[in-house]
Amino acid sequence: METDRRQGPQPPSARGPLSAAVRDHLRGTGPLPRPEAAADAPAYGDDLQLALYQCYELHYRGFAGVDPEREWDPGLLRFRAALEERFLAALRAGTRVHETVEDAVAELLVEPADATGVSHFLRDKGELWHLREYAAQRSLYHLKEADPHAWVLPRLWGRPKAAMAAVEFDEFGGGRPDRVHALLFADLMADLGLDTTYGRYLDAASAETLTIVNMMSLFGLHRSLRGALVGHFAAVEITSSPGSRRLAEAMRRTGAGPAAEHFYDEHVEADAVHEQIVRHEVIAGLLEQEPHLAPDVIFGIDATGHVEDLLAARLLTEWRAGRSSLRVPLGEEAEPAHVS
C-alpha cells in the first residue's frame, strides 16, 4: 500500500521511565520527570537515547497524533536540555580527540590496511539478512538524509555557507526529486524487501543507532555546536566514498537489487567530490572566519568516530555470533498503525 511519506510515525514503544514519560507527555496523558532524573540514566542507554530521539523528532516530521505545537513545549524543552547535558558530557568524556584539525582529518584520509569494520564484513561475508538489518538500522538517518546538517546553514556565512549549501543541494537531489538521497535509500530498502515507511524501524533500532542520529540533531540544533556539526559532516563525507564502495560490492555480491547497488554507487562518486569541498571550503572557510572553533571541529570529527565505533561493535558482535543486531528481529516487529 502506498504510504503518505509526510505522515509522521507512531510514537515508539517505551524502553524505560524516561522514554515512557516523553511518549505519554506527547500524547497528553502524563507529566514529565524532573530534569534531574536524566542525570542518573546511562548516557548511551536505550531509555535516555529514545527519550532524546522523541524530543528531536518533533523538529523533523513529528509523530502521528501528536500536536505539532509540542515542538516548542517549554517543559519538554527543559527536560530535553537535561537529557542533552547528560549526553554531551558523556560524548566529551568518552571521545579521544586529536591535537589539531589537520591531524584529525589526516587520520580520516588513511584507512588501516588491516581494517575490519562493518562495511568490510558486509563486503566479504555479509548475507542478505545482514544487509537488511543494516539498512533497517541506518534508515533512521537515511530516510532524512542531510536534514540534520541543514540546521547549520543559518549559523554560517560567506565561503563555508556557500560550500555547505552546495553539498546539501546535491544531497537533496540537485533540484531533481528522483535523485533525493532519502528517496534513493527508500528504493534500496524496497529492493531488500523492507518497509520504506518513515520511522518504521524505530522500535527495532539499537541504542547505538539512536545515539548516532541524536548526535547529529544535537550538533545541528545548537548554534554553540556549529563547529562540531561541521566536524561531524566532514567525518561523514571523507569516510563515505570507500565505505560506500564496499557496500555497493556487498549489494552486488548478494544480488540485493539495482536500487540497492545504485544508492551506494551514487555515494562513491558524489562523496568523493563532497570530501574535497568540505575539507577545503567548509572547514577551511569556517576556521578562517572563526579560528576559535577549531577544538569544536576536532570534537565533531572524533565524536563521530566514537559513536560509529559503538554501533560497529554492536553489529559485529551480534552478527559474528549469528544473532540479530536489532532489538526486534525483522519479521517479528508489530505492524505499523497508519493514521489518516
Of 178, 210, 183, nearest in space to 198 by CA: 183
Residue 247: its pLDDT value, please? 97
Residue 7: its pLDDT value, please? 67
List, for residues 229-263, the tens digit of each pLDDT value: 999 999 999 999 899 999 999 999 999 999 999 99
Is residue 164 domain-shared with residue 68, that is, in the same domain? no
Please report whether residue 216 resides in a domain: yes
Please report whether residue 9 resides in a domain: no
Residue 332: its pLDDT value, please? 61
Residue 303: its pLDDT value, please? 98
Q: For residue 223, give its domain range.
A: 100-320
Residue 116: its pLDDT value, please? 86
List, for residues 9-27, the tens digit of each pLDDT value: 999 999 999 999 999 999 9
Distance, CA of 149 to CA of 216 (rounded, Å): 7
Q: State which of 44, 68, 93 marks the end of a domain.
A: 93
Residue 1: its pLDDT value, please? 32
Is residue 41 domain-shared with residue 111, that is, in the same domain? no
Is residue 117 domain-shared with residue 243, that is, in the same domain? yes
Is residue 74 domain-shared with residue 164, that is, in the same domain? no
Is residue 32 domain-shared with residue 147, that is, in the same domain? no
Residue 112: its pLDDT value, please? 79
Is residue 138 domain-shared with residue 27, that is, in the same domain? no
Residue 3: its pLDDT value, please? 41
CB 138 within 8 A of CB 132: no
Residue 114: its pLDDT value, please? 76
Number of folded domains that form the chain: 2
Residue 8: its pLDDT value, please? 86
Residue 277: its pLDDT value, please? 94
Query: H helices within the chain, ranges in order?
Result: 17-27, 46-57, 74-94, 101-109, 118-124, 128-142, 147-150, 158-171, 181-191, 207-221, 226-254, 258-277, 284-289, 294-320
Distance, CA of 283 to CA of 297 (rounded, Å): 8
CB 245 within 8 A of CB 272: no
Please report whether residue 76 resides in a domain: yes
Of 58, 92, 100, 61, nearest in space to 75 by CA: 58
Please report whether residue 8 resides in a domain: no
Q: Which residues in the chain land under pLDDT 70?
A: 1-7, 271, 332-340
End-to-end Cα spacing for the chain: 13
Please report whether residue 331 resides in a domain: no
Residue 6: its pLDDT value, please? 55
| C-alpha cell at position 267 | 555515494
